[in-house]
């Protein structure tokens, strides 16, 4: 599949391009970026990949798949354009600006018989794969509380669109880390029925939300408690999963992000392996963490599948919108 990448910021450079270049069945053909330094970076790392300055130039090329990893406010616009040009599309999170826009994109893709796939790569984090396995094997009994955190210590505000106070930029931490947390909860326990949230801006110079807590109630009675923060000087466990017969607790982050940011080529025998000292514990007993496997997402794309259902991305955006409504009203919102 001749594949083009729209955008070459951190997302494009670290989380997409390395896999487009190494996945069997994908031909990494082009990158769209108007930034001269990023153009140079692409040419240096991927000398056989064409660099074009604008999206309009892209439609003149013969392509099969487009990956959208532009700033959040453009995801829906660029996904729609790619679909209308007859291409399959992968869209980075957040999948769209609103649940309504996500439904419109899904309907368009269906009408045009094209694949539209949300990029929720965190489903292939090793620690999340471990939680998924433990729950599937009923090692915890009925999970009554699922706790999940993406917490960081970043007291200084960075000057990027992700820190913008313009609502159109979708710069809130709920759209950033929060969408991963919500998607993982949905993947495990399904679309929630009720949402409660606290969404705040804590750092003095911040204009976008930088701290959030979401409580989701699922149809089976499980409650997901989700934290995302840029101002956590002491981070909590990545996962704390409480069941009727056992509990699983895991600290530390999946190693793949740091490897990709350092320029590592994905794959190989040690890829995605969690350090022994970071392994979680099930009722006090150490549990080997599943290997992180971001490469499986694009392997699924190359095989002709849709690794993440569009319906889950729509549900995730419904939760995000309900979270903002809950935070404004200080009330539980029913979906």
For residue range 242-277, what is the model confidence (pLDDT) as tens digits? 999 999 999 999 999 999 999 999 988 899 999 999
> pLDDT at position 104, please?
98
Query: Which residues does residue 252 pair with via DSSP β-bridges, in sequence order?
Result: none
Fold match flag (2-119 vs 122-334): no
Tokens 């409580």 label which residue? 215
Domain-by-domain residue ranges, the chain?
2-119, 122-334
User: What backbone torsions phi and psi does residue 109 show, to the nearest 5 degrees?
Assistant: -60, -40
| Average pLDDT value for the chain | 97
Question: Which tokens go with 218?
Answer: 């699922």
How large is the average pLDDT for residues 14-33? 98
Contact 27/3 with Cβ under 8 angstroms? yes
CA gap 24, 22 in Å, rounded: 6
Question: Which tokens go with 301?
Answer: 């794309």
CA triple 307-311-316, angle to 5 deg:
100
> pLDDT at position 179, please?
97
CA gap 150, 275 in Å, rounded: 19
Contact 28/17 with Cβ under 8 angstroms? yes
Tokens 């082009």 label which residue? 30
Nearest to 20 by CA among 126, 122, 119, 128: 119
CA gap 12, 66 in Å, rounded: 12
- pTM as predicted: 0.96
> pLDDT at position 62, please?
97
> pLDDT at position 64, please?
98
* Predicted confidence band of residue 131 (pLDDT cuts 50, 70, 90): very high
Residue 142: other Cβ atoms inside 10 A:
13
Pick the CATH number of 2-119 from 3.40.50.620, 2.40.430.10, 3.40.50.720, 3.40.228.10: 3.40.50.720
How large is the average pLDDT for residues 203-219? 96
> pLDDT at position 77, please?
97
> pLDDT at position 159, please?
79
Contact 182/216 with Cβ under 8 angstroms? yes
pLDDT, tens digit, 9 for 90 and up, residues 275-291: 999 999 999 999 999 99
The architecture in CATH of the region 122-334 reads 2-Layer Sandwich (3.30)
pLDDT, tens digit, 9 for 90 and up, residues 73-125: 999 999 999 999 999 999 999 999 999 999 999 999 999 999 999 999 999 99
> pLDDT at position 268, please?
83
CA gap 208, 311 in Å, rounded: 27
> pLDDT at position 305, please?
95
What does the chain come to in residues?
335
Enclosing H/E stretch for 40: helix 36-45
């Amino acid at each position: 599949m001749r594949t083009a990448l729209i955008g070459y910021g951190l997302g494009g450079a670290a989380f997409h391009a390395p896999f487009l270049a190494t996945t069997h069945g994908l031909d990494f053909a082009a990158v769209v970026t108007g930034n001269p330094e990023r153009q140079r970076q692409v040419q240096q790392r991927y000398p056989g990949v064409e660099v074009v300055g604008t999206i309009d130039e892209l439609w003149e090329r013969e392509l099969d798949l487009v990956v959208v990893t532009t700033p959040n406010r453009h995801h829906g616009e660029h996904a729609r354009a790619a679909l209308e040009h007859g291409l399959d599309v992968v869209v980075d999170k957040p999948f769209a600006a609103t649940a309504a826009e996500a439904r419109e994109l899904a309907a368009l893709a269906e009408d045009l018989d094209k694949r539209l796939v949300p990029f929720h790569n965190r489903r292939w984090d090793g620690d999340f794969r471990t939680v998924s396995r433990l729950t599937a094997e009923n090692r915890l009994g009925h999970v009554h509380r699922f706790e999940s955190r993406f917490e960081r210590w970043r007291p200084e505000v960075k000057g990027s669109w992700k820190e913008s106070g313009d609502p159109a930029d979708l710069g809130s931490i709920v759209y950033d880390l929060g969408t991963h947390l919500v998607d993982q909860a949905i993947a495990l326990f399904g679309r929630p029925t009720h949402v409660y949230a606290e969404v705040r801006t804590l750092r003095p110079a911040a204009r976008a939300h930088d701290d959030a807590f979401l409580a989701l109630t699922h149809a089976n009675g499980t409650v997901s408690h989700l934290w995302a923060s840029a101002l956590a000087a002491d981070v909590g466990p990545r996962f704390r999963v409480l069941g009727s017969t056992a509990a699983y607790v895991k600290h530390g982050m999946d190693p793949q992000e740091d490897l990709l940011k350092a320029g590592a080529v994905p794959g190989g025998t040690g890829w995605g392996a969690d350090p022994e000292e970071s392994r979680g514990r099930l009722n006090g007993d150490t549990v080997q963490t599943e290997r992180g496997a971001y490469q499986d997402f694009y392997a699924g794309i190359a095989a002709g599948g849709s690794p993440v259902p569009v319906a889950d991305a729509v549900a995730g955006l419904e939760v995000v919108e309900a979270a903002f409504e809950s935070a404004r009203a200080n009330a539980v919102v029913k979906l």
